[in-house]
């Protein structure tokens, strides 16, 4: 295996992606069991080629991990603390294990590059979990969907990055009407409410919530969802084209 080619990438600049999905009335995030460092977890991420822009790099990284294209993607913050990696308690372990794993591919120069200071550009993505085919990156043992209420400790400042991404998602849910990216093409009002409750981690009063959503004037009402008595069946909705 040839040496890791760090010369292809912009030095000291990386991307970490918070990939949100929704299933079983829970908001979930796709995280990586890091290959190096026992019990270590991280956000899916990568580096930026010298020949591509940062949005294109983020889309490429997401496609490599999910198999999906043209998904909702938003940059939410840059994380530039000078100590975010160089003073991380994971740094020495990762550096040591990279060298042991493949000393030719990850020599001293490469491991120094990988564990030096990096400014991280944070993106979050919203995906339909049923369409995702998780693919391991070079540093992943495996990828796993986890509830935002059941997350392990993650390397470096990845827990902070995820927290900030969740705050950004909550702030944008109404303003940019992005929550519908987490639902199937058609859905009931109850399913919309359950999504909001999962994102905000709190209940909503059904009558107030329904009025709020309908007042946004972004939904098209379809036929009733025929389960049980017709007069009790909920209406189906879809996002207006």
The confidence score (pLDDT) of residue 82 equals: 93
Give, for all 241 residues of the chain, the pLDDT tens digit.
Answer: 577 888 999 999 999 999 999 999 999 999 999 887 777 899 999 999 999 999 999 999 999 999 999 899 999 999 999 999 999 998 998 888 888 878 888 888 888 999 999 999 999 999 999 999 999 988 899 999 999 999 999 999 999 999 999 999 999 887 777 888 898 888 999 999 999 999 999 999 988 999 988 888 888 888 765 555 555 668 899 888 7
The alpha carbon of residue 120 and the mean position of all alpha carbons in its chain are separated, in whole angstroms, by 14
Cβ atoms of residues 119 and 78 within 8 Å:
yes
Give the CATH number of domain 183-239; options: 1.10.10.10, 3.90.550.10, 1.25.40.10, 3.40.50.300. Answer: 1.10.10.10
6-179 with 183-239: one CATH topology?
Answer: no
Burial of 75 (0-12, 13-18, 19+ CB in 10 A): middle
Residues 98 and 111: their CA atoms lie apart, in Å, by 7
| Superfamily covering domain 6-179 | Nucleoside Triphosphate Pyrophosphohydrolase (3.90.79.10)
The confidence score (pLDDT) of residue 226 equals: 56
The confidence score (pLDDT) of residue 95 equals: 86
């Amino acid at each position: 295996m040839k040496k890791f080619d760090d010369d292809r990438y912009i030095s000291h600049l990386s991307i970490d992606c918070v990939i949100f999905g929704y299933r079983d009335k829970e908001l979930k995030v796709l995280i990586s069991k890091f290959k190096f460092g026992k019990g270590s977890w991280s956000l899916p991420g990568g580096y930026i080629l010298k020949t591509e822009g940062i949005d294109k790099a983020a889309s490429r990284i997401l496609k490599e991990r999910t198999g999906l294209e043209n998904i909702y993607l938003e940059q939410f913050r840059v994380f530039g603390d000078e100590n975010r990696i160089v003073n991380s308690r994971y740094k020495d372990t990762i550096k040591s294990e990279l060298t042991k794993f493949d000393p030719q591919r990850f020599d001293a120069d490469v491991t120094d590059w990988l564990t030096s200071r990096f400014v991280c550009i944070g993106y979050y993505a919203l995906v339909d979990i049923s369409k995702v085919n998780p693919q391991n990156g070079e540093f992943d043992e495996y990828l796993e969907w986890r509830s935002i209420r059941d997350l392990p400790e993650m390397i470096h400042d990845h827990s902070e990055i995820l927290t900030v991404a969740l705050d950004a998602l909550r702030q944008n849910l109404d303003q940019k009407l992005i929550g519908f990216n987490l639902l199937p093409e058609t859905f009931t009002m109850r399913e919309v409410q359950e999504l909001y409750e999962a994102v905000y981690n709190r209940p909503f009063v059904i009558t107030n919530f329904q009025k709020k959503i309908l007042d946004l004037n972004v939904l098209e009402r379809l036929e009733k969802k025929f389960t049980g008595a017709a007069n009790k069946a909920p209406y189906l909705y879809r996002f207006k084209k």
